[in-house]
Amino acid sequence: MTLSDRGPSRNNDRSKMSIATRSPSEPPIPDIMTQRPGTLRSGYTTGTCAAAAAKAALTGLVTGKVPQQIDVMLPRGDRVVLPVDNTGPVDNTGPSQSPVQATAVVVKDAGDDPDCTDGARMTATIWWAAMDVGKEVFTTLLAGPGIGTVTLEGLGIPVGEPAITSIPRKMILESLAEVTTRPVVVRFSVPGGETMARETTNDRLGIIGGISILGTTGIVKPFSTAAYRASIMRQIDVATARGFRDIVFCIGSRSERAAMAILPNRDPVVFVEVGDFTGAALKQARRRRVFSVTLVAMAGKITKLASGTMMTHFHGSNVDTHLLSEIAVATGAPLDVAATATQTATARHFYDACLRSDHTAPLVRLCELAREQCMAFVDSSFTMQVFMVDFDSGEVVASAGSN
């Protein structure tokens, strides 16, 4: 995740507006997303590289030799083979010269995505977990130099833990289990990771010390403005050409899976992954005379849409915490919920507080505002429904409108 120039943000000006005076707009597309010529090549996430490095290192710990390449399973079940750049060292100072520690490096290839972590040397050093009689021992993941540590709530990762999100963590643990189920300790590190992190949003999110280990699909798709927007337009064109006038917009792969569970009887062709280009997708839906739009997303993107920001890439927009605070007050939220609105730069912290307090009225209001802003943006007569789904389970937690 990289930041554009840290000059004044349009979103900062918008945050001073009341709900009643906000109007939808589409921020300029960040330079990071400008068109790149030729065929765009996909790459691998930091999560995939971490899983591969950990599995390669554990293979070395078990066999005494780190392999030159390693295969791992991606979240959707596909297997990929990644080269292992560093096949050592293996510390053979244990009893009978048995390995007690091993290290492996997998170099991140982000394809044609302009990612600041491209070329990062994801390093996994691994050793056996100490056994404690009478206590269950689990595999532990540690943050070494260049890997960030979480210091604030709201990211879905406990404070003090390495900045490894849920899906990469699952990938890592499953990859290790393919070698052995014996508990181990894995320390991840990336030379220069702290410098890379300066080009990310980590400091704003309370992640210190380096980069995060991220990824929901394991694959990095290049963010070419022309290519990505064109693919969205084509998907809408294909759906409407086949006679469908009820389109479902999903922000990412997780929200797409949630949308298909919410609307199991819809034809797959109507599900369009719009990414950050909600505004462009809405315009195309209007041009193609779509009758109804359903939007399925998580709290962060819905909060940005509720503030009227129709291009939601993190380079060009921030979560409007002032809007969250205003909504908390307007819906009579408990004091602890209202306090979380401005405590971090993430909507998830606010979302989690709402769920803990069993006060979801602010989340419903966010869905209502997102719907109103989207409709106003295209001044369209199509009907629209907005579903906010949970980050982990994909279950619906709030909604607005009907189709």
Query: pLDDT tens digit string along 260-317?
Result: 999 999 998 899 988 888 998 999 999 999 999 999 999 999 999 999 988 765 444 5
Q: Residues 390-402: what's their mean pLDDT?
A: 93
Domain boundaries, the chain: 10-39+223-401, 43-220
Alpha-helical regions (H) of 178-294: 193-197, 202-205, 225-241, 253-262, 278-287
The predicted model gives 203-231 an average pLDDT of 76
How would you class 150 by CB atoms within 10 Å of its CB: exposed for 0-12, middle for 13-18, buried for 19 or more?
A: buried
- pLDDT at residue 362 tops 50: yes
Percent of the chain with pLDDT over 70: 81
Average confidence score pLDDT of the chain: 84
Provide the pLDDT for residue 366.
96
Task: Please name the amino acid found at residue 367.
Answer: C
Among 288, 242, 291, residue whose Cα is nearest residue 268: 242
User: Is a pLDDT exceeding 50 seen at residue 7?
Assistant: no
* DSSP states along 185-206: EEEEE-TTHHHHHTTSSHHHHT
* Residue whose structure tokens are 């034809």: 267
With vertex at residue 67, the alpha carbon angle to CA 61 and CA 68, rounded to the nearest 5 degrees, is 150
Query: What does the angle CA 208 – CA 251 – CA 328 come to, to the nearest 5 degrees?
Result: 70
CA angle 70, 73, 74 (to 5 degrees): 125
Q: What is the pLDDT of residues 221-269, one digit of tens each?
A: 665 455 567 668 878 888 888 899 999 999 888 899 999 999 999 998 8
Residue 28's pLDDT is 55
Q: What is the largest CA-CA distance in the chain?
A: 76
75-89 residue pLDDT tens:
989 999 999 997 665
pLDDT 10s digits, 106-118: 999 987 666 788 8
Alpha-carbon torsion 50, 52, 55, 57, what sign? negative
Task: Please report the pLDDT score of residue 4 as a whole number.
Answer: 30
Lowest mean pLDDT among 30-34, 327-331, 338-342: 30-34
Give pLDDT, residue 9: 37
96 pLDDT above the threshold of 60: no
Superfamily of chain region 43-220: CbiD-like (3.30.2110.10)
